[in-house]
Amino acid sequence: VTPTRTNFIRQIVQDDLENGRHQRVVTRFPPEPNGYLHIGHAKSIVLNFGIAEDLGGICNLRFDDTNPHKENVEFVESIEADVQWLGYEWGGRVRFASDYFEQLYGFAVELIEKGLAYVCDLSGEETRAYRGTLTEPGRDSPYRDRSIDENLDLFRRMRAGEFPDGTRTLRAKIDMASPNINLRDPVLYRIRHGVIHHQTGSEWCLYPTYDYTHPISDALEGITHSLCTLEFEDHRPLYDWCVANVSVPCRPRQIEFSRLNLEYTVMSKRLLTQLVTEGIVSGWDDPRMPTIAGLRRRGFTPGAVRGFCERIGVTKADNLVEMGILESAIRDELDASAPRAMAVLDPLRVVLTNLPADAPAAVTAKNHPKDDSMGTRAVPLSEELWIDRSDFEETPPKGFKRLVPGGEVRLRNAYVIRCDEVIKDASGDVTELRCSVDVETLGRNPEGRKVKGVIHWVPAETAVNAEVRLYDRLFTVPQPGTSGRDVREDLNPDSLRVIPNAKLEPSLGAAKPGDRFQFEREGYFVADPDSLPERPVLNRTVTLRDTWAK
Ligand code: ATP
Ligand code: MG
Ligand code: MG
């Protein structure tokens, strides 16, 4: 069954189709190419593309590129790649708001001719002062009553580059006393000399504002439902004013929903940019980043990201989503799909003192405990093994079920072993355990006693040496940078722990970047693009259990 009425926006859209207001739904996703997409954008992408996909409509990808000094082609390309990675297709070619600069200019002339826009010579500071406040109405600009002819002439000369930055703007003539500040003669155009726009080069020195560009771009593309986040609710009257007062082919309907906020991370592009440019993370795709590129490198799948977005839903209520919800989306998927393997992160040498000459050269391990279709693999058996240091305790705490001096434990997929001797170095640190195997226990329970613990291991001779990167939350508080704090004060100093010499079972030597595994008892891991042929690098995607619960 196709989910359609699962949120209030889908209900509106489906009603509009059923009662014939629209024949076909057209949505758009309008990112500004001033950074990489993050999980908040994914919410908007899943909403916009998902509606089009489920209801036989189309969704445009349109870059909102009216602030050229912060934008670039790297961001454009990364955004296209991330939308595709999530599994969506946009309608026709990629669009840019800048495709419409000439038409937008023409509509501005139309507004001037209708007496609905004027050229204003107030400086930025003066414009703000004249605008008033929530409690105090604004004052009319002294330039508000310029003649249409003078406005047309000045606007043409603004475009021709006759006036320096900041000297003049084009403003809508609406209502300086409106209780909605957005309607107090908002600026439609500002002068910006010397910027090289990534799409239009140096063709323009006059740039339209977002509030003017967005509604008209929507209308030109025949968007039926323009979905945006709640902070634009107060801008909706201006949106409607723009499409009502210029000769566009249709009037899209703006509907607002609440932004996604996620605990223990930040989502503002300003802060994400700061993390990248100050080298706090390794780049936009650092696996600790909430970006799509970061989540991909962390080992997330498109299905897990989409599933998460569906699970959190779409409402008008402000919310702060727990990181555990995002993690459980990928954990559930990987539990079903990731092949199991053994990896030792903190290796301690074990020598099997009595491995019989006729012991099998390898044991057979299932790739998935519940899915036989995933097959089996051979794990070579040898006299020397690695186990995890934490699976041995000389003086065990109560209830410790793993290896202790004189005690027994099962090696996963292999024998029960007993620790006969503990070897230490001069400083008293354990360097090696000498153990004997019970040769009767391969695939069989030991006679006359119970062995509870099962530990994972890796054959020493054929082990693959790997770098393992363990990630934790990037910030130590649920809402970093709030109550006047600098986000840098809230950084988690242990958000990345690198293990330079982990030991993997030999089958993992062939891991290619993007391959995902469950390392038994350790968590889910993905091979990183930094991997080298003899030396894989593995990122921990998520632990086996939710470690976020407070
Ligand atoms: P910022 O304010 O950090 O610059 P933005 O909202 O301006 O972010 P855009 O590139 O303009 O970023 O966003 C593109 C689309 O994605 C917009 O429609 C926006 O509403 C939506 N979006 C951005 N962040 C979120 C979020 N956290 N949750 C839901 N939708 C979001
Ligand atoms: Mg922005
Ligand atoms: Mg924006």
The reply, when asked if residue 327 is annotated as ligand binding, is no
Q: Which of 388, 421, 455 is the last residue of a domain?
A: 455
From the CA of 29, how far away is ligand 1's center (Å)? 10
Residue range 160-176: mean pLDDT, rounded = 98
Q: What is the DSSP string of 392-425?
A: B-SSPPTT--SB-TT-EEEETTS-EEEEEEEEE-
Confidence of residue 387 (pLDDT cuts 50, 70, 90): very high
Residue range 17-44: mean pLDDT, rounded = 98
Q: Quick one: pLDDT at residue 4?
A: 78
Q: Which residues have their alpha-adjacent CB atom under 5 A from ion ligand 3?
A: 32
From the CA of 48, how far away is ligand 1's center (Å)? 13
Residues 30 and 137 in one domain: yes
Ligand 1 atom with least separation from CA of 44: 30
Catalytic residues: 32, 259, 269
Q: What is the CATH number of the domain that holds 328?
A: 2.40.240.10
Residues 413 and 527 in one domain: no
Confidence of residue 233 (pLDDT cuts 50, 70, 90): very high
Ligand 1 atom with least separation from CA of 64: 11
Least reliable range by pLDDT among 172-186, 272-286, 441-455, 491-505: 441-455
Angle in degrees, CA 520, 523, 524, rounded to 5: 105
| Residue 331: pLDDT over 50 | yes
Residues 359 and 407 in one domain: yes
Rounded to whole angstroms, the Cα distance separating 13 from 89 reads 20
Residue range 262-282: mean pLDDT, rounded = 97
Rounded to whole angstroms, the Cα distance separating 548 from 281 reads 22
Residue range 70-95: mean pLDDT, rounded = 97
Q: What is the CATH number of the domain that holds 91?
A: 3.40.50.620
Residues 302 and 232 in one domain: no
Ligand 1 surroundings by CB, under 6 angstroms: 30-32, 40-41, 43-44, 64, 228-229, 259-260, 267-269
Ligand 1, atom 22, lies closest to the CA of 41
Residue 262 lies in a domain: no
The reply, when asked if residue 259 is annotated as ligand binding, is yes
**Cβ 502 vs Cβ 540: under 8 Å:** no
From the CA of 66, how far away is ligand 2's center (Å)? 11
The closest ligand to the CA of 259 turns out to be 1
Distance linking the first and last C-alpha atoms of the chain: 36
Q: Quick one: pLDDT at residue 546?
A: 79
Residues 335 and 350 in one domain: no
Residues 31 and 145 in one domain: yes
Q: Quick one: pLDDT at residue 550?
A: 46
Rounded to whole angstroms, the Cα distance separating 328 from 255 reads 30
**Cβ 57 vs Cβ 221: under 8 Å:** no
Q: In what order do the strands lie in the sheet with 26-29?
A: 26-29, 58-63, 95-96
Residues 497 and 533 in one domain: yes
Q: What is the pairing mode between strands 95-96 and 58-63?
A: parallel
Residues 470 and 451 in one domain: no
**Cβ 513 vs Cβ 529: under 8 Å:** yes
| Residue 219: pLDDT over 70 | yes
The reply, when asked if residue 39 is annotated as ligand binding, is yes
Q: Which of 421, 455, 489 is the last residue of a domain?
A: 455
From the CA of 32, how far away is ligand 2's center (Å)? 6
| Residue 547: pLDDT over 80 | no
Residues 520 and 388 in one domain: no
**Cβ 363 vs Cβ 389: under 8 Å:** no
Burial of 150 (0-12, 13-18, 19+ CB in 10 A): middle
Residue 90 lies in a domain: yes
Q: How many domains does the chain have?
A: 3
Instruction: Name the residue range of residue 371's domain.
Output: 346-455
Rounded to whole angstroms, the Cα distance separating 68 from 289 reads 25
- Confidence (pTM): 0.95
Strands (DSSP E) along 71-149, which ranges? 95-96, 117-120
Q: What is the pLDDT of residues 147-159, one digit of tens each?
A: 999 999 999 999 9
Q: Quick one: pLDDT at residue 198?
A: 97
Residues 222 and 242 in one domain: yes
Torsion of CA 358, 362, 363, 369, to 10 degrees: -170
| Residue 1: pLDDT over 80 | no
Give CA separation, 153 vs 99, 168, 524, in Å: 24, 13, 65
Q: What is the pLDDT of residues 522-544, one digit of tens each?
A: 999 999 999 998 899 999 999 99
Burial of 450 (0-12, 13-18, 19+ CB in 10 A): exposed
Residue range 3-25: mean pLDDT, rounded = 94
| Residue 2: pLDDT over 70 | no
- Helix axis angle, 101-113 to 148-159, nearest 10°: 160
Residue range 474-500: mean pLDDT, rounded = 95
Q: Which of 403, 424, 455 is the last residue of a domain?
A: 455
Residues 484 and 355 in one domain: no
The closest ligand to the CA of 35 turns out to be 1
Residues 229 and 294 in one domain: no
Q: What is the DSSP string of 205-225?
A: SEEE-HHHHHHHHHHHTT-SE
